[in-house]
Structures are given as structure tokens and as C-alpha cells.
């Protein structure tokens, strides 16, 4: 790779890092192509970019971006996952993928650190982030909370009419039945 190609790669990576809401660095050790392809597919479906990066180029590209806090983690064979919308989803997918690896392959992929909105997260914080509800789940909960008072109000308004209808029905049935005296 000559100097102009390196500069082009740094500029491209810098542009992507600038847009990223979340970044997670993973250490790769002996991972096979089929496994990393499966991981990339899962991440791509969620709108997350996953790239094996050259450490020196990644450090240069990270300057002045939200990912800058991860510059010290670009050591050895690493890959960077960058998410552009929901900060929880990349952490969830990576954590579940690492947990799903068989015991003999557990060292193939390790989460090193992350960054969310420019704030650095260690491995434990990334794990905690993965246990939080994602953006779609939160939206669903908010809609449920907003809809709950309306449904309760509708039930409250309908209750007196329902009670009145039951009382009238009971009186009608009582009037229809012959009285034994």
C-alpha cells in the first residue's frame, strides 16, 4: 500500500468514524473465515459495519472522531464494529455471538472496549450495555405506556354504561320469569 492509498484509507475510515454513534473493538485470535463471515452477516443485517483495521491507520483515522477514545485499543489483530443509530445493538450482537461460540473456540473473538457518543467503555461496561433494551424495544415500551392511559380511560367511561346494561338485563330477566307464590 503506497502513501496515497494509505491516506485514502485513513480518510474513508475517518469519515465513517465521524458518523459512528458507537464503536466496539474486538480482538481476533485464530478465528476462521466462516465464523467471521457469520458475525459480519449478523452485524450487517442490523446496519452495523464490522472491519478488520490496520492499527496505525485506525489510530490516525480516529483523531477528532467519537471513536478517538478507542485509539489505545488498536493493538494486535483487532476489528472495529461501528453503529450509526442504536448504541445497544452492536453490543448485544457481539456479546451474544461471543457467548454462542463453542468452548474450544472461546478465545477466537474477545470484546476489548467500546465507545458510545465519545465516552469510553471498558469490557464490563460493554457487557452491561448489551443487557439494556434496544431502541425498538424502548419505542415499543413508550407506545405501550402512552396507550395504557387511553385504554384505561375508555374502560372507565364504558363501565357505567355496562353496569346500567347489566342492571336493565337483570330486571328484564326477573320480569320474564314467573313468580311462584
The answer, yes or no, to whether residue 48 has pLDDT greater than 60, is yes
Q: Which domain holds residue 32?
A: 3-132
98 plus 9 within the same structural domain = yes
47 plus 105 within the same structural domain = yes
96 plus 149 within the same structural domain = no
38 plus 102 within the same structural domain = yes
pTM of the model: 0.71
The answer, yes or no, to whether residue 159 has pLDDT greater than 80, is no
121 plus 168 within the same structural domain = no
92 plus 167 within the same structural domain = no
Tell me, what CATH number does 53's domain have?
3.30.70.1730
Lowest-pLDDT choice from 36-40, 61-65, 128-132: 128-132
Q: What is the 3-state secondary structure (H, E, C) of 43-100?
A: HHHCCEEEEECCHHHHHHHHCCCHHHHHHHHCCCCEEEEEECCCCHHHHHHHHHHHHH
**pLDDT interval class at 49 (50, 70, 90):** very high
The answer, yes or no, to whether residue 24 has pLDDT greater than 90, is yes
The answer, yes or no, to whether residue 81 has pLDDT greater than 70, is yes
156 plus 176 within the same structural domain = yes
What pLDDT score does 179 carry?
A: 63
Beta carbons within 10 angstroms of residue 80's beta carbon = 24
- Tell me which of 107, 132, 157 is where a domain ends: 132
**pLDDT interval class at 42 (50, 70, 90):** very high
15 plus 35 within the same structural domain = yes
The answer, yes or no, to whether residue 127 has pLDDT greater than 70, is yes
125 plus 67 within the same structural domain = yes
59 plus 76 within the same structural domain = yes
The answer, yes or no, to whether residue 25 has pLDDT greater than 90, is yes
What pLDDT score does 103 carry?
A: 82
* Residue percentage of the chain with pLDDT more than 90: 23
Phi, psi of 84 (to 5 degrees): -115, -5
112 plus 150 within the same structural domain = no
**pLDDT interval class at 156 (50, 70, 90):** low
The answer to whether residues 24 and 113 touch, using CB atoms and an 8 Å cutoff, is: yes
What pLDDT score does 41 carry?
A: 93
Question: Structurally, how many domains does the chain consist of?
Answer: 2
The answer to whether residues 72 and 61 touch, using CB atoms and an 8 Å cutoff, is: no
38 plus 13 within the same structural domain = yes
Amino acid at each position: 500500500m503506497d502513501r496515497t492509498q494509505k491516506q485514502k484509507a485513513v480518510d474513508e475510515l475517518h469519515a465513517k468514524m465521524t458518523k459512528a454513534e458507537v464503536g466496539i473493538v474486538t480482538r481476533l485470535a485464530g478465528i476462521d473465515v466462516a465464523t467471521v463471515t457469520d458475525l459480519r452477516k449478523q452485524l450487517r443485517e442490523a446496519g452495523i459495519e464490522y472491519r478488520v483495521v490496520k492499527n496505525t491507520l485506525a489510530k490516525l483515522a480516529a483523531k477528532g472522531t467519537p471513536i478517538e477514545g478507542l485509539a489505545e485499543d488498536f493493538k494486535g489483530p483487532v476489528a472495529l464494529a461501528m453503529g450509526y443509530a442504536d448504541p445497544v445493538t452492536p453490543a448485544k450482537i457481539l456479546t451474544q455471538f461471543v457467548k454462542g461460540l463453542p468452548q474450544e473456540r472461546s478465545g477466537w473473538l474477545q470484546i476489548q472496549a467500546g465507545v458510545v457518543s465519545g465516552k469510553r467503555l471498558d469490557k464490563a461496561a460493554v457487557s452491561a450495555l448489551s443487557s439494556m433494551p434496544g431502541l425498538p424495544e424502548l419505542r415499543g415500551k413508550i407506545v405501550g405506556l402512552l396507550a395504557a392511559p387511553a385504554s384505561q380511560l375508555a374502560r372507565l367511561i364504558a363501565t357505567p354504561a355496562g353496569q346500567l346494561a347489566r342492571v336493565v338485563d337483570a330486571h328484564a330477566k326477573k320480569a320474564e320469569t314467573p313468580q311462584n307464590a
